[in-house]
Every structure is written in structure tokens, then in C-alpha cells.
Structure 1
Amino acid sequence: MIKDLRPTAFNNIHTVFIILEKGPTVRGENGSLLSLCLVADQSASVHLQLWGSECDFFQPGDIVRISRGIFSSYSGNMILRAGRKGKLEKIGEFTMVFSEFPNMSKVQWAQEPSNPAVWIPIGLHNPHSSITTQNNIQKVL
């Protein structure tokens, strides 16, 4: 589930989601095609980065399975992506229950002091409130 995402350096994410919005396709710094999407499942949403031919293949309304995905910082933003080891595959269209809140890409993360390999949520930007607290994020997650 998307709400269970935590920053990682490993390709260990397996989940299913629907593409809600797809941004324009742009050329990255190395010349490759990139597109940023908003995707969601019943638990939360997250930004997904499409790369190369994925930009043309996937569209809003597609239900997608990611295997061996990675959730990490890219250009200063937390995003989900297949990366080199992962795989995205379309498995359906249009019919899926989803929740746009919380957006896991907007969660603020910190390494746990006693175990730097573990990331913990420390804040959440709520578009309906200017108040962000640790208590609010614990209620949501």
C-alpha cells in the first residue's frame, strides 16, 4: 500500500495504483524523457516518475502494478519510480478505489537516530490546514 512507503535505497516496492494525473513530458538533464504523475491506491497518493518510453505508454486512468520499485529522493523530491531494476505494467483501466490524501511525496522524513537505515515521518503538509504537527501525521498514517 502506498501509505506504507518509506524512503529506501533498495528496489523492494511492490504495489498497485491508478494514475490520476500525468504531467507534461520533458527532457531531463541527461536528455532522457521524464514525466511526473500523481498516482493513488485506497490508502494514499504519491508522485510517480515515468522515464523514457513509459512516458508515452501510461495514461491517466491506467491501473498499474510496480514491481521492485524504489521510493527515494530525486532532484530534491520524494518520488516512486521503477528505476533500472523495477518494472511497471498496466493491468487495467478506470476502476479503482483511491485516496489522494495523504500524499506520501509531501511527507517530511528523517532518519531514526538509533537506526539511520530507518526513515520516520516527521511532518505532513496538509493542503487544508497551515498547521503541520507530528500528532497530525500519526493520525493520518
Structure 2
Amino acid sequence: MIAPLKPGQQLTAIAKFRPWMRGFDCEVIVLETAMPTMTRDGQTIHTFLVADRTASIIMNVWGDDGKCIRNGDIIRIEGAEAKLFKGFMQLTPARFGKLRRVGEDTMQFKEQPNVSEVQWVTEEESRAMAPAGEAQS
């Protein structure tokens, strides 16, 4: 059984994520787990493909919090962030965000669209890519 929401708590769907959103709550199911990677300064990053009823996204968890997460786990993040890494959006718990397992294997989800596969560009980058002679507003 999934843990109930706190009074007034609202969950943001993956399809509503936008780059640089901060401080929102979400609930996802873990679909795939990748091998942890190490940064140059020795920190561990655990990477997962997660989804909800609207879409999927790559989730990165820094440090030991990612060690206990398994495929099929339903994770609630309170204080999440949607960040861009090399132009692609990823989900991560904020520095002081809370990540907890609230269930397993019983959540409807959609694998597609995967919002981590969409490359985001700034307005300046978009204008720079416009064909020459095209009117710019």
C-alpha cells in the first residue's frame, strides 16, 4: 500500500516538469537501474529510469541514498529538482529533499515519452539555430 499524502500536498507529474523547477514533490516507479558512477572527487551517483502515469525521466541520486533503491520501488521525493545536464532534463532530490520508498510494483506508468530524451535549448540557442533570412521576433 502506498503511503498517504500529507494534507495539502500535491504531486507534480513528470510531463509537467520544466528545466530548473525546484522544490516540488513527485512520486515515481523505478523501471531500470544503471551501474553507479563515480565523480572525479569520489562521489557516487546512482542513476535510474523512473516513470509515473504521464511520462518517464532519468533520476540521479547522489551518495548513499541510491544504494537501497531497486527496480519496482515506488519512490516519493519531497523537494525535487528538474535539472539540465548537457541539454537533457533529469530529476534529482534537492540537497535537503526527502526521498523515501512508499510502495512497490503497483503503480500505473508510461515509459513514453521519456522527457530525458528531449534536448532543451535556450531562446538564444534557438535563434542562433534559425536558418538565415528567417524572420526573428
The 4+ residue runs of structure 1 with deviation greater than 4 A are none
Report the counterpart of residue 3 of structure 1 in structure 2. Answer: 15
The one-letter code matched in structure 2 to 1:42 is: R
CA–CA distance in structure 1, aligned partners of residues 80 and 118 of structure 2: 18
Report the counterpart of residue 107 of structure 1 in structure 2. Answer: 118
State the SS of the aligned residue for 1:66.
strand
Q: CA RMSD in A?
A: 1.7
Structure 2: gaps of 5 or more residues = 1-12, 125-137
Kept after mapping to 2: 8 A contact 1:18/1:63 = yes
CA–CA distance in structure 1, aligned partners of residues 85 and 120 of structure 2: 14
1:111: Cα distance to partner?
3.9
Kept after mapping to 2: 8 A contact 1:11/1:86 = no
Greater gyration radius = 2
**Correspondence 1:70 to 2:76:** no
TM-score scaled by length of structure 2: 0.74
Task: After superposition, give the CA deviation of every residue in 1:86-119 in whole Å (9 maximum; x if it has no partner).
Answer: 2211000111110011111112223458xxxxxx
Kept after mapping to 2: 8 A contact 1:11/1:85 = no
Report the counterpart of residue 130 of structure 1 in structure 2. Answer: none
1:79: Cα distance to partner?
1.0
Q: 2:104 aligns with which of 93, 102, 106?
A: 93
Q: Which has the higher strand share?
A: 1
Identity %: 36
The one-letter code matched in structure 2 to 1:98 is: F
Structure 2 matches for 1:1-141, cutoff 5 A? 1-8=13-20, 10-74=21-85, 77-111=88-122
Kept after mapping to 2: 8 A contact 1:34/1:50 = yes
CA–CA distance in structure 2, aligned partners of residues 76 and 54 of structure 1: 25
State the SS of the aligned residue for 2:121.
strand
Kept after mapping to 1: 8 A contact 2:89/2:120 = no
CA–CA distance in structure 2, aligned partners of residues 85 and 109 of structure 1: 26
State the SS of the aligned residue for 2:67.
helix
TM-score scaled by length of structure 1: 0.72
